[in-house]
């Protein structure tokens, strides 16, 4: 039988399956209207959740799908059911024909955003940084110099009386990104050096711009990079990593 006829004959089944999964009419209409194209975009391997014996989960916001925005080839698809697996650094959706969780090929994804969180974008290589994996980072400041957060979970052994299994421990790392280059930032002093600033510059920002050194690291990085891009500060690239000793 013609594959197109098979797909068209399943439209009613698609509607029934997605409705039972709690997804919106927008996603149904999108899938119906762009069936051949969107079908290709989400074609990936079948996804299975970690075993029920594991403690916790590897996802960013929880086990349930959230409606999100998925951007591929500069086209944004709204109300797409999404899960972000922080351990595998991969995006999962719900296939409306096969009614199964399916992996989205990471190389096809430009960025995504879920209803409970920020904007995630795929970046190319971050050498010598194992959690990079597929390259999804949260973009918390999207200027010339970007502030990125890498959210990830490590699978580790979990022990309790009479039981040995696994659990997932969440971590996050902070980066500045400019012109394809990452600079990992662990404290305010590293941020200052990466941006080529001096202690005199920081004192000036504190005195004239109200820069607060007691902000969270994320807030401080955003505030500092915004101040550093003022006309009186010239930025030509990150300081070398060997300068990040303090």
Query: How do residues 117-134 score in pLDDT, each as one tens digit?
Result: 789 999 999 999 999 999
If one counts the domains in the chain, the total is 1
The set of residues, in sequence order, having a beta carbon less than 8 Å from that of 182 and lying 6+ positions away, is: 123, 126, 129, 148, 175, 176
Among 98, 68, 72, 71, smallest CA distance to 83 is for 68
Tell me if 203 sits within 8 A of 235, measured CB to CB: no
Mean per-residue pLDDT for 26-54?
A: 66
In a domain, 214, yes or no: no
Among 113, 81, 111, smallest CA distance to 95 is for 81
* C-alpha span between 92 and 100 (Å, rounded): 10
In a domain, 175, yes or no: yes
In a domain, 79, yes or no: yes
In a domain, 229, yes or no: no
DSSP percent split of the chain into helix, strand, coil, nearest 5? 30, 35, 35
Q: What are the tens digits of pLDDT across the range 93-152?
A: 887 767 788 888 898 899 999 887 789 999 999 999 999 999 999 999 999 999 999 999
Q: What is the pLDDT of residue 108?
A: 86
Q: Which domain holds residue 106?
A: 3-185
In a domain, 25, yes or no: yes
In a domain, 49, yes or no: yes
In a domain, 231, yes or no: no
In a domain, 131, yes or no: yes
> Judging by beta carbons within 10 Å of its beta carbon (0-12, 13-18, 19+), is residue 101 exposed, middle or buried?
middle
């Amino acid at each position: 039988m013609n594959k197109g006829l098979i797909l068209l004959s399943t439209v009613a089944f698609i509607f029934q399956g997605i409705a039972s999964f709690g997804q919106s009419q927008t996603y149904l209409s999108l899938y119906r209207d762009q069936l051949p194209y969107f079908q290709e975009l989400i074609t990936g391997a079948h996804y299975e959740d970690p075993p029920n014996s594991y403690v916790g989960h590897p996802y960013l916001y929880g086990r349930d799908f959230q409606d999100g925005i998925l951007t591929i080839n500069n086209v944004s698809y709204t109300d797409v059911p999404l899960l972000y697996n922080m351990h595998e650094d991969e995006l999962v959706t719900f296939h409306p024909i096969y009614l199964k969780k399916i992996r989205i090929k990471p190389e096809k994804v430009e960025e995504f955003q879920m209803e409970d969180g920020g904007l995630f974008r795929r970046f190319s290589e971050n050498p010598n940084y194992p959690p990079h994996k597929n390259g999804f980072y949260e973009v918390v400041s999207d200027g010339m110099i970007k502030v990125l957060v890498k959210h990830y979970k490590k699978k580790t052994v979990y022990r309790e009386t009479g039981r040995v299994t696994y659990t997932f421990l969440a971590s996050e790392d902070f980066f500045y990104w400019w012109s394809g280059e990452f600079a990992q930032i662990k404290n305010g002093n590293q941020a200052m050096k990466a941006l080529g600033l001096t202690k005199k510059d920081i004192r000036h920002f504190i005195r004239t711009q109200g820069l607060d050194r007691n902000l969270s690291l994320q807030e401080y990085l955003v505030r500092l990079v915004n101040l550093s891009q003022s006309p009186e500060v010239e930025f030509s690239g990150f300081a070398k990593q060997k300068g990040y000793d303090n």
